[in-house]
Copies of this chain bind each other. A is one copy, B any other.
Amino acid sequence: MLKVVIIGSGNVAQHLAKAIDATGQATLVQVYARHPEKLAHLFPEDRITASMENLANGDIYIISVTDDSIAEVSTQLPFEGRLVVHTSGSVSLDQLDGKNRRGVFYPLQTFSKNKAIDFSNVPLCLESEFENDHALLRTLADALSKTVYSIDSKQRQALHVAAVFVSNFSNHMYALGDAICQENNIPFNVLNPLITETADKVNTLSPIQAQTGPAIRHDQNTIERHLDLLKDDNQRNIYKILTQSIQDNG
């Protein structure tokens, strides 16, 4: 059975650790955390370490820390020639220290502290320096998820930008909608079915096919009424730019 060690205690590290621990096809032997108390609610003490020197033997070491710390953590590992991967969408494989066999194990999902996630629906994007290691990563990935992709560093970085648009920026559209609702004493949850359906549509239609609304209809009267109604300069500016972008790309 594959022995996995996770290095990190943030959102991704915790969700991944729980998911690996729950599969019957890999063993989570240890989690490293600088602040072990962050993991105390998840795992018994003897499976958590705060010392690099005490890292257990594993087939795969997964570094799941902030993007800016990945390179440094990889140099601190007190061994060589083992399989070490990171989980970042935007960091290339060669940022990892070359003393170990390098790879990437990128779960393409948004993880929040207080919301459980079904890992079987999380796309896992794999990359490895050596072909044999790809098979190891694939075994772990298949145990966790229904959808596994081989994605090289260049593609993964593009995918990460695309993910910022479809997730971070969409969520910000929800935040702006929420602000407009609050200004007018409307409960935001009126909008939840619309948000769900909008996301659901692009499972079966392309986003271009799915586009509705005044911008794509070039309904100038409605657009002007909306701009009159928006008093916040930032909201007005975003409304104008996105309306133009929809009309230019539609």
Contacts and interface: CB of A to CB of B under 8 A. Distances in A.
Interface of A: 66-68, 90, 108-112, 114-115, 117, 121-123, 125, 147, 149, 151, 154-155, 157-181, 183-186, 188-216, 219, 221-222, 225-226, 229-230, 234, 237-239, 241-242, 245-246, 248-249
Given A90-B214, A176-B245, A178-B208, 18 more contacts: A66-B219, A67-B221, A110-B210, A123-B193, A158-B181, A159-B186, A162-B178, A162-B180, A162-B181, A162-B186, A164-B213, A166-B174, A170-B199, A175-B211, A175-B246, A176-B249, A234-B248, A238-B242
B195 A170 contact: yes
Contacts of A166: 173-174, 177, 191, 194-195, 198
B155 A184 contact: yes
Say how many copies of this protein the assembly contains.
2
B180 A165 contact: yes
Contacts of A219: 66-68
Contacts of A173: 165-166, 169-170, 173
